[in-house]
Chain A
């Protein structure tokens, strides 16, 4: 990832046509640095400090604090461990061991991974299909459809969940009513279906956004490429399969990574649907588990350990995915 970003330091447009002028950049800054080094240093600090100070406070400090918290536990010194003074005691990895031995926490992880394994590919295939359809020559009313597909992205997760919740609940839902009228007993909130009902909410919200990212990349493909393929006798499907898809690979990787991160954070949807679906318990997703550990179980230390584990898994998965997909993309490019 870093290398790709570095290569963008040079203006990207000429780089696509001529060999990359990598050397030029190196000469300029050095000459300047010797001339106005001190002024530069002061300006650099003034420009970067505000961001990095807050970044430290909101990203690095909490991670450090969580790591620290996760290594301690609260001990009560009163009789029978009740009342009395509270004391922080070093616990080593006990909180992690506790989390990893907790069936519900692990089940939650498994559930979220299963969710991601099904929902992310489905959503990205749908987004790609819609992007290709909208960009194909046979599409009409493109601006209308594009806006319609993108609209749900403007609906916050909580509102989307409230909204779909009403469409799932038997008493109100017109969907259940229609299905019932034709003799189909739909239950969106049962133990077996509720996870996929949540997957539907997430898909509904984010397909249009991903589609827009893919369309932007499709637009960056030079039109002559399509013309050439068409003259060679390729049909619409072959152009999509052999030219468009390989070229939007970077955008697919990007949407994939953001989807993985998003999936691991799954919280608002199950939280909002919880009062409607008894199948959703306090450990339904790892995030929900950590939240209830902190605010219901009142165990900050265990919650900190779970938050650390969650961040770790997210990093491993998204870096792994970047490696896998990015590495292969580089071979192609």
Chain B
């Protein structure tokens, strides 16, 4: 292929740089602001450091404020997202595999129900789910956030498509002839062949749960059960009376964003190959 003219390369580079500035500047602001105390947050120019940046000290303040409630929220978020995403991935894998590999009456109807589930907005469901869960006494417990997080219709959709294409029938037949049970075939062959799809489902669900705000907001009233997002908004709610909370909100937001952004950057490769290659192919 011939190299494109310099003129084109300059135009492309400038456009990409302008876009990168748009996406990165707010994150840069957050990083700079996490090194400031309340007074400097309001008193100094936002895009540059104050005279005495103290990032470590202020972040320790965030972690220790109110008996370390921030650390607890962080642990809650990790628990909801980690446990929820693992369960969602396994459940999706099993259901998707069965929908792809076991023909049975009503299979398409069942699959269509799952597809409809993909199109129902999560927050339209959250309120009714709260009414239901409070009727059966589950509201304001860990289960209230965890159980809905374990269900991923999109995961089933993706796993079915992937299993249909990546798990050959002949291999399953061979395993059956060797006398392996269905559970062993699924565990030993199916899951292994579906790994790229499973990574995608796990990541998707992890980020989805981690970012979810509405569900925990309606479900939880005990701040000890809060995930991080809910905790931080409860701080901003008090910031009027306790200005130091502005600083803690900024620091807490910074702390919560860093690990996920690192994860995203490292894993976007999987994201791209796993998610899209098959799911968008129509």
Listed in ascending order, the chain A residues whose CB lies under 8 Å from chain B are 1-2, 4-6, 8-13, 28-30, 32-33, 36, 39-44, 46-48, 50-52, 54-55, 57-59, 61-63, 65-66, 69, 126, 129-130, 133-134, 136-141, 144-160, 162-164, 166-167, 171-174, 177, 204, 207-208, 212-213, 215-217, 219-220, 227, 230, 236, 250-251, 254, 257, 261-262, 264-265, 267-268, 271-272, 275, 287, 290-291, 294-295, 300, 303-304, 307-308, 310-311, 314-315, 318-319, 326, 329, 333
B161 proximal to A (CB < 8 A):
yes
CA separation between A11 and B167, bound complex, in Å? Answer: 9
A contact residues around B98 at 8 Å (CB): 43-44, 47-48
Whether the pair A52, B110 counts as a contact (CB closer than 8 A) is yes
Contacts A52-B95, A291-B218; is A167 near B280 (CB within 8 Å)? Answer: no
Whether the pair A65, B12 counts as a contact (CB closer than 8 A) is no
In the complex, given contacts A8-B161, A220-B277, what are 7 additional A-B residue pairs having Cβ atoms less than 8 angstroms apart? A9-B164, A43-B183, A173-B46, A250-B281, A251-B280, A304-B128, A307-B128
CA separation between A85 and B277, bound complex, in Å? Answer: 59
Q: Which of A204, A268, A329 contacts B282 (CB 8 A)?
A: A329
Whether the pair A314, B124 counts as a contact (CB closer than 8 A) is yes
Whether the pair B120, A163 counts as a contact (CB closer than 8 A) is no
Question: Beta-carbon contacts of B19-55 to A below 8 Å, as 1s and 0s?
Answer: 1101110110110010000000110011100000000
CA separation between A166 and B130, bound complex, in Å? Answer: 32
Whether the pair B132, A61 counts as a contact (CB closer than 8 A) is yes
Whether the pair A314, B120 counts as a contact (CB closer than 8 A) is yes
What are 11 of the A-B contact pairs (CB < 8 Å)?
A1-B115, A2-B111, A40-B104, A43-B182, A51-B94, A129-B15, A154-B260, A154-B265, A163-B29, A172-B46, A215-B272
CB distance from B162 to the nearest CB of A (A): 9
Whether the pair B121, A212 counts as a contact (CB closer than 8 A) is no
A contact residues around B211 at 8 Å (CB): 156-158
Number of chain B residues whose Cβ lies closer than 8 Å to a Cβ of chain A: 111
Q: Which of B45, B260, B276 contacts A216 (CB 8 A)?
A: B276
Q: Is the interface of B mostly helix, strand, loop or mixed?
A: helix
B56 proximal to A (CB < 8 A):
no
Stretch at the interface among B57-65, B66-74, B148-156: B148-156
Q: Which of B27, B104, B210, B260 contacts A44 (CB 8 A)?
A: B104
Question: Beta-carbon contacts of B106-133 to A below 8 Å, as 1s and 0s?
Answer: 0010111111110111111101111110
B contact residues around A150 at 8 Å (CB): 264-265, 268
Quick one: closest A residue to B104, CB to CB? A44
Whether the pair A162, B276 counts as a contact (CB closer than 8 A) is no
B176 proximal to A (CB < 8 A):
yes
Whether the pair B29, A174 counts as a contact (CB closer than 8 A) is yes
